[in-house]
Amino acid sequence: MSKDSSLSKKSLDTILAHAGRDPLAFHGFVNPPVVHASTVLFPDVQTMLTAGQQFTYARRGNPTTDALEGALMEIEGAAGVKIANSGLNAIALAVLSCVKSGDHFLVADTSYGPTRHFADTVLPGLGVRVEYYDPGLGAGIKALFRPETTAVFTEAPGSLTFEMQDVPAIAAAAHGIDAMVLMDNTWASPLYCQPLSLGVDLSIQAGTKYIVGHSDVMLGTVAASERAWKGLDSFYGAMGCHVAPDDIYLALRGLRTLSVRLERHQRNTLSVLDWLKDLPQVCAIRYPALESDPGHALWKRDFSGSSGLCAFDFADGTTRDQAFAFLDALNLFGLGYSWGGFESLAIPVRLKGMRTASPFDPDRQSVRLHIGLEDPEDLIGDLDQALTKAFG
C-alpha cells in the first residue's frame, strides 16, 4: 500500500487518527471492515494470470491487513510493513529476511530474552554465526565486523536493564560494510521513536504491547526501509505468514488511542519514579527519560517520549527473599511477563545467562515495573505497603 502524501505532512497524532482509513471505499463507515476470507475470485482468466487486481489470495493481504500496514507505513515512514503473529515472530522474520548460512550476525547483549534464545538455538542450525556485543560500543562496533558480517541487531533501551544505544552511529558503521541494521523499538513504540529515520533498515515492534494496548492480542510488526523491503516482502510471502483479521482489527483499534495512552503511561511513570528514587530501599532507577540515567543524552537526542516500562535496583544487602516478598505483597501490580497494556505489572529481573559481552552484577536484586493507567497515587500506595511488608 502506498503512503498518503497528504498525511505524511501531518503530526503523528493526526496520522494515528486517520491513517489506514478510507471510509468512502466502504460505504462511508469510519472503520475498515473485518474481512474473513481465504479465496478471492477473479472476473476473468486474464486478470487471474496477470494478478491484475488488488487482492489475489487472503494470505497475501485483504482490506483489514492493508489498513493496519498502511497506517504503520505512515507512522514509521516505511517503504512497507508486514504483520506477524507476535513480537518474537516479527524478530525472527526480520532477522531471517537478511541473514543466510555463512553470515556473521551481531546482537546487542541487552536484547530481549527470547531474541537471545532464537539467536542461540535457531540461527546456528542455519549456519549463521551469532556474536553478542556490548550495547555501549556505538561506532566502535566496527572493530567486530568481519567480511561475512551482514546484519546488526539493536534494542534501545535494552530489556530489563534499559541501557541506551547510539543507534545512528551503529547504523552508519554497519552501512559502511553494507550490513543491515535491525532495531527492537517496542519500548518507545513508533510514536516516540522512528528507527528508520535513525538509519535502521528493519524497525520491529511487539505490537502485543503498546500498539494493541489492551492485553488481549498477540501481534508483531516489521517496518522496512527501501533497501530492506524487497527481502522482507519476499521472505514473508515464502513463509506463508498470515495474521487473523480479528487480531489485526483490534491492533488497528488500539493504534488510534496510542498517543493518549502513552502520554498517560509516561506521566504516571514519572510520578511513581519521583517517589521511588528517594527511598532508602532503592539505590538506582533504570529509565532513560530521567536526567540521572546514564543513557539520558541519547534518549533525549533520538526519542520524543518515554513509556511505562522501567526498573529499579534494591539497595546493597537486599536479599532475594526480601525482593520476592516485595513482589508477593503487591496488590495493584500483577505478576506477569508482558507489558504495554492498561494494567500495572511487576517481575523480578533475572540476568543469569542473559549477559555475555557486557558487565552485570548477578547478585543485584532488581524489579521491572510496567506502570499502567491507574491513578499514580494508588500505585505509589501499593508499592509503599509492599516495601513495608518486605523490609519492615
Exposure string for 162-182, b = 16+ CB within 10 A, e = fewer: bbbbbbbbbbbbbeeeebbbb
Choosing from 82, 116, 209, 256, which is the catalytic residue?
Answer: 209
| Candidate list 59, 300, 320, 350, residue with the active-site label | 59
Contact 181, 151 (CB under 8 A): yes
Residues whose CB falls within 8 Å of the CB of residue 237, separated by 6 or more in sequence, listed in order: 60
209 is catalytic: yes
Side chain identity at 294, as an amino acid letter?
P
Region of 22 on the Ramachandran plot (φ > 0 left; ψ -120 to 50 alpha; else beta): beta
HSE at residue 182, side-chain half, CA atoms within 13 A, is 27
Answer yes or no: 378 catalytic: no
Whether residue 68 contacts residue 251, with contact meaning beta carbons closer than 8 Å, is answered with yes
Set 66, 112, 166, 236: catalytic member: 112
320 catalytic? Reply is: no
Q: Which cell numbers in the block locate residue 309?
A: 516500562
List 66, 134, 166, 184, catalytic entry: 184
In this structure, how many other beta carbons lie within 10 angstroms of the beta carbon of residue 315? 13
Which residues form the catalytic set?
A: 59, 112, 184, 209
